[in-house]
Structure 1
Amino acid sequence: MADVSKNTFDLCDPENHFANAVPQRARDSQTLRNAILAASARHFSTLPRERQKEIIQGYGLKQGFTVSEEMVLHYHNECIADLRYLASEPNAIMDEDLLAAVVILRFYEELDSPFIEFSTETAIRGLQVFIEAQASLALASPGFRQAVFWVGFRQEFHIAFAQQRPFRLPLSICEPHLTWTPAPDHVWANRLIIICAHAIQYCYDDRLNQGATRYRELVELYNRWQQCRPMSFSPTYAEDPDQTQGDIFPRIWFMDDCHILASQSMGLLKILLTAYSPHVLRVGPARRKYLAQIDAKLRATVLEICGVALSNRQSPPALITACVAINTCCEQFSDLREQQALLEINAITTRETNYWPASVSKAKLEEAWGWGT
C-alpha cells in the first residue's frame, strides 16, 4: 500500500500523509485498516504472478500465499458496513480517519470499474457525507484532514469526468480557496482542480441554467490560472513529435508530480471547454468545417495528455489519466496508426500500474473504432 500511496494519493502532498500517517492511524481504526486491506488486496490480486512472488518473498510471507476474491470482498464489505453505520453518528462523521477510509475505499472501486456509475450506497455516496461534514474544518488549516480532503476532491473530479456526470460535492465550500495569491505549487494544483470541478458542473449538471456568460467565466478562470501560476509549472523540456520518425506523441517533461497532474488536468479542462462550447454552429454551410476543427483540437489535446504520461513514467497515475482522456475522446480518432498507438498506451498502463482494467477499456475502444466489424 505504501507504493500506491506515494504514487496515487500523495501527488499534491509534500508531507506524504497517506504514505506516512495513514498506516500508523490504522493501528487504532478498524475501519481504516479494513479500507487499506481491501485496496491492498485488490491491487495485489491484479499484479502479475512474478511480481506477487517478489512481494511474498520480500515480506517473508508463506510460499503459496494468495489473495482470493473472497478475501478482497470480505475487507471491502466490512469497511462498507462500518461506514454505513457510522455515517449517522455525529462524532464519527467528523472523524478524519474515517474520511481517509472512504477515500481509500473509493480508490478500490475505481480499480474495478472506472467508467461505471455505481448505484449502490458505497464509498461514492459515503465520500460526500464525510467530506461535506469535514470540509470547513479541513480547509481551515493545513494537516492530515486537509490533505485527505483534497485527495477526495480530486477523485471526484476524475471519476465525474470519466463517467460524464455532475460533480457531487458542493463547490461553494472551496470558493474562498480559488484565489491568485502566492502559494506553494501543490496549492496551485488544487486551485486548478476547483476550476475543473466548475467546468464539470457547467457541462453535465442539467439542473443549472448556465449559458454563454458562465462559459466565458470558465474560460477566463482557465486563462487566469495559466497567467498567474508559478513558472515551475512550465515543462523542463518539450518537443513536438517527429512525424518523419513516425512519432505520435510529444515529449513533455516535468519536475514534480503536482506539475504533471496540473498539466493533464489542464488538458481535461480544455477537452470540456472545447466539447461543450455554446458557440458550436448548429446549422449552416460552415458547420462541418467547424466541427472538424473541434475534433482536431480534441485529438491534439488527448495526444498531449498521452505525451505527458509517456514522458513522465515515474508518475503512474499520469498513464491512467491518459487512458481516461483516450476513452472519453476515442470517437474523434479515425487514423489507424493513432488508434494503434492509443491502444498501446492502454496496454502499457496495465503493465506498469497494474490497476487499470485493460480488457474493459480495450473493448470500449475497439467498439468505438469499428474493429472486428
Structure 2
Amino acid sequence: MAATVILRQYEEMDEEMDENEIDTDYYDDRRVSFLAITQTIIDSMIESPLENSLASAAYWIVIRQEIYYAFSRESIPHMRFDANRWRNTSIANSIIMFAGEVATWCWGQKNPGEWTQLKLREQQLAHDCMGEIEPILELGADRAKGRIFPTVWYSFDVQVTAIQHFRLAQMILIAESPYLEKATRATHRKAEAQVRSIVLNLCGIALGHLRIQPALVNAVIAVTLYGEYFTDQEERNALLGIINRTKELHAWPMRKPYQTLKRRWEEVDNAEL
C-alpha cells in the first residue's frame, strides 16, 4: 500500500509533464495506472478499517492525492469513499474530505441545492474546528515594505494541512456560487476580493512553512485556480514567485500551472469592457 502511494505520486508528476518531455521508450500507453490500485486500497479500508496503522496512513494519503489531482486538473475526484464510516476521524481528515466533496460539486453538476448544503457544512466545520487551528502568529501584508503576502505561522503540520484544505474549499464555494450569476456588480467585486484574500493567505501560510512540502503545492493550486482575479502587476509577480519557489524547492513540474496562469492573465487583459 505504501509503495502504491509513492508510485501514484510519480504517476501524477509524469502527467504534469508534456509528452515530449517523457522518455517514450519507458513511458507508454501500456504502463500501469496506480489510480485503480489506490481505489482498491480505499475500498478495502472502508470494509475493514485499521486504526493507528501504516495502512490507515496510506489510506489518508491516497485521499489527499486524489483531491490534489482533482484541484490541479479541475476535474471530479476519481475515488469512492464513504465519509460516514469515518465520523470519528481527525479534524484535518474531516476537512480534507470536505474539500473532496467541494471538488466533486464544483467540477460536477454544480447543483445549487448541493452548494447550500456545502455552505452549511463549511459553517459547521468552522464552528467545530477553527478553535483548534488558530495560528500562533498572524500579520497582515505590508505593501510599503514589499510584503505582498500575510505572515501566518502554525504550531503543527496537521494544522497547516487542515487550514489550507479548508481555505481551498471555502475559496471555491465563494467563486463558484450559483447566486453570483444574477448578482450585482458590487456583489461580484466583493466575492473577487474575498477570493484574492484567500489566495494571498494560502501563499502566506506556505511561505511560513516551507519545510512542509504540500504547503507550497496547495498554494500553487490556489494561484492556478483564481490567479486571473489579480490585475496588479506587483501581486502577479509575487504569485509567479510562488510557482518558481515550488519548482526550485521541490523540483515539482510547474510548466502547466505557469502556462495556465499566463494564459488566463492574457485573456483578462485582452477582454473587452
Q: Name the TM-score, length of structure 1 as normaliser.
A: 0.64
Distance (whole Å) between structure 2 residues aligned to residue 303 and residue 166 of structure 1: 25
Equivalent in the alignment of 1:279: 179
Equivalent in the alignment of 2:111: 210
Given the alignment, which residue of 188, 193, 198 partners 2:96?
193
The answer to whether the 8 Å contact 2:17/2:255 transfers is: no
SS at 2:152 equivalent: strand
Distance (whole Å) between structure 2 residues aligned to residue 370 and residue 205 of structure 1: 27
Given the alignment, which residue of 199, 202, 207 partners 1:310?
207
The answer to whether the 8 Å contact 2:46/2:85 transfers is: no
Matches within 5 A, 1:59-70: none
The answer to whether the 8 Å contact 1:135/1:149 transfers is: no
Give the stretch that moved more between structures: 273-282 or 128-137.
128-137
Equivalent in the alignment of 1:59: none
Once the two structures are TM-superposed, the CA of residue 188 in structure 1 deviates from its matched residue by 1.0
Deviations 1:104-157, CA, capped at 9 Å, x for gaps: 1111122233499xx9861123322332233322x3432111111010011111
Equivalent in the alignment of 2:4: 102
% same residue: 26
Equivalent in the alignment of 1:130: 41
Distance (whole Å) between structure 2 residues aligned to residue 229 and residue 326 of structure 1: 25
Matches within 5 A, 1:1-373: 99-114=1-16, 122-137=33-48, 139-171=49-81, 173-178=82-87, 187-206=90-109, 210-212=111-113, 214-229=114-129, 231-282=131-182, 287-354=184-251, 356-370=252-266
Give the stretch that moved more between structures: 158-167 or 335-344.
158-167
The one-letter amino acid paired with 2:147 is D
The one-letter amino acid paired with 1:188 is I
Q: Name the TM-score, length of structure 2 as normaliser.
A: 0.85
The structure-2 alpha-carbon separation of the partners of 1:316 and 1:238, relative to structure 1 and needing over 3 Å to count, comes to same
Flag structure 1 segments of 5+ consecutive residues without an equivalent: 1-98
Distance (whole Å) between structure 1 residues aligned to residue 173 and residue 87 of structure 2: 19
Q: CA RMSD in A?
A: 2.5
The structure-2 alpha-carbon separation of the partners of 1:168 and 1:353, relative to structure 1 and needing over 3 Å to count, comes to same
Which protein is bigger by CA-based radius of gyration? 1
The answer to whether the 8 Å contact 2:42/2:80 transfers is: no
Distance (whole Å) between structure 2 residues aligned to residue 268 and residue 114 of structure 1: 21
The structure-2 alpha-carbon separation of the partners of 1:143 and 1:329, relative to structure 1 and needing over 3 Å to count, comes to same
SS at 1:279 equivalent: helix
Distance (whole Å) between structure 1 residues aligned to residue 118 and residue 103 of structure 2: 11
Once the two structures are TM-superposed, the CA of residue 243 in structure 1 deviates from its matched residue by 2.6
Distance (whole Å) between structure 2 residues aligned to residue 201 and residue 266 of structure 1: 15
**Count of aligned pairs between the two proteins:** 258
- After the TM superposition, which segments of 4 or more aligned residues of structure 1 sit over 4 Å from their partners? none
The one-letter amino acid paired with 2:256 is V
The answer to whether the 8 Å contact 2:139/2:151 transfers is: yes
Deviations 1:51-96, CA, capped at 9 Å, x for gaps: xxxxxxxxxxxxxxxxxxxxxxxxxxxxxxxxxxxxxxxxxxxxxx
Distance (whole Å) between structure 2 residues aligned to residue 230 and residue 326 of structure 1: 23
Flag structure 2 segments of 5+ consecutive residues without an equivalent: 19-28
The answer to whether the 8 Å contact 2:69/2:77 transfers is: no
